[in-house]
Structure 1
Amino acid sequence: MTINTQPKTTLPKQSLIAKLFTHFVLLSCFGVFVVYGVQRFGGNYANDKAQEKIAQAGLSGLVQYDSLYFNPFSLTPSLENVRVGPADAPWLTFARISFNSYPIEHPNLDIDFWIQQSDATKLSRDTAALMRAAGIDTLLGKGHLSSEIENDKLTWAFHLDIKDVGKLTLSADITLLDKTTLIRDLRADTLASIAMGQPSALLSIYEDDIEIGSLTLQYEELGLVQHRYSVSSDDPTNYLGLASALGLAQEGSAEATDIDNALRAFLIAPKNLTVNVQPTAPLSLRTLRDLAEQGALYQDGQITLQVNQ
């Protein structure tokens, strides 16, 4: 019996390392190519869809942006340097508007936005006037908007933080009464009315189509009230009548007095203000408007007002 004593042929260590390195480089190049392809073609598709959505909302001439960045890993787009309003004097300018979930097919929205630092002289006269009333010369802020849909239910959550002005948080539960009304149309009209500075237009468009199940508004004072109002604690007549002016209660009623006292306390030493609308049954926009005209919004709308110093 013959035993083969010849050593086995083995791949030199240097050759094995070179082979592994080559495979790593090839895989890396392939990965980069895939990411680049997803980013480029996904970005083009998202850009086309963004233009389509802007056109559907009737904002083609009022919304411009410099570029669209498409994240190839989360498959979400971000609009860069967005201007809302006339090109020469926009109402607002955003450094970035980022979608945290893919907005094209998915019905829910999750958006972060950053208001670009803007001098009053660079914005529209209406915006500049509001800034002067708020006691600021430069606008800077950030916010978040989320919207979730389940059957005919729509839940909104909106947060806005403006430097040297305040923090505003709004949440609402909405039900569609008209089944032919598409939720995407409601959201588009809402965004368009806000962008155009005419949120009251929704009352006319959807007064019989949607109901408010609950609504909460919270405001944290960071300068707006201090600049806008000067309430003297030794003058009890200042700003009385706010409740009746807002349609919350009848002038001279006990409810109006309580509301006026609470609002005046907030104006004298502003900190946090919370308004809750929690009716026993959902109320349509038409009903809410009628209650305001009757001065019964506070009582029949089941509104509570809380002031925290």
Structure 2
Amino acid sequence: MNDLERIAEVLAGAESVLLVSHVSPDGDTIGSTLGIMWALRALSVPVRVACDDPVPQEAAFLPGAELYTTEPYAGEDVVLGVDASDMRRLGNIVAGVDVESIILAEIDHHSTNQGFAALNYVRETSATAELALDLVRVLGAPLDGRIATCLLTGLVSDTRGFRTSSTTVDSLATAHALVAVGGDLGLVTDRLFNHVSPAARRLWSVALADQHLDEGILWIDLPLALLESLGEGEPDTRGLIGLLISFDEAKIAALFRELPEGGIDVSLRSRPGIDVATVAYALGGGGHPQAAGCQLPGALSDERPRVLAALKQALLAARKA
């Protein structure tokens, strides 16, 4: 699914563009989106960035992060989804989009992506940031340090600092190209891996006291009452799930977080060779073999058992492989 040239053409000629990051955003969707935004601005294309959920702490340092809004589609003639494996992952931002009357495009690197837009640039890489760099180059926008730092954030975030099995020679070549034009790799790695907020530290200390290990699956519940008692607003859970999967006993790590509007958010991580993306996708989410997630409508007590059952099947399949 390679409509890269056509996507660049319609973006460059658009009167207005909406770039949409996926729900529960991470460094890749934010960094890739902002890199594309700055490229379009350099070409004087009117562009807006939006996401259903707040920019996570790990990406809040990026230039342009403050420009994100939760305002839904407002009549832009081109909508580009960034790092989303299907339309659901773009959330309420695109709820009012009539796909017959606008140009809907997407760039994404997830293996579960089936090409949901009219124009698709989908290729399995270590991060969507690799594809965003392709788009910036085809657009002909000047690749400067600001764009490079945004894209580096996406690349370093999704590869966990070039440590995942998805890291390839192309990943490292992309990093080389971005650093060569001024991308600040030191800043990116420091902000992604060396900063834990006081709020996150308090959350972790409470959550880790009630962890559960079940047949190689290490999981934690984050009930709404607990989150509200800490009074910290939107919790930073990405570091917590990363910590869980680092424990020797964990083959799979799972976080089950109750949402204020009802339902739960599920974050999943796994060791190499264990695919949690298929579990998340079957539940309406998405991700990568070693890092995935989904949101489910039911109560925590109802949804957790069926997720754990699916994870046990994934673990069993990996052991038989």
The answer to whether TM tops 0.5 is no
Q: Shorter-normalised TM-score: what interval? A: under 0.3
TM-score when normalising by structure 1: 0.23
* Larger RCO, structures 1/2 (Cα 8 Å, 6+ apart): 2
Looking at secondary structure, tell me which structure has more helix per residue.
2
Return the TM-score normalized by structure 2.
Answer: 0.23
Higher strand share: 1
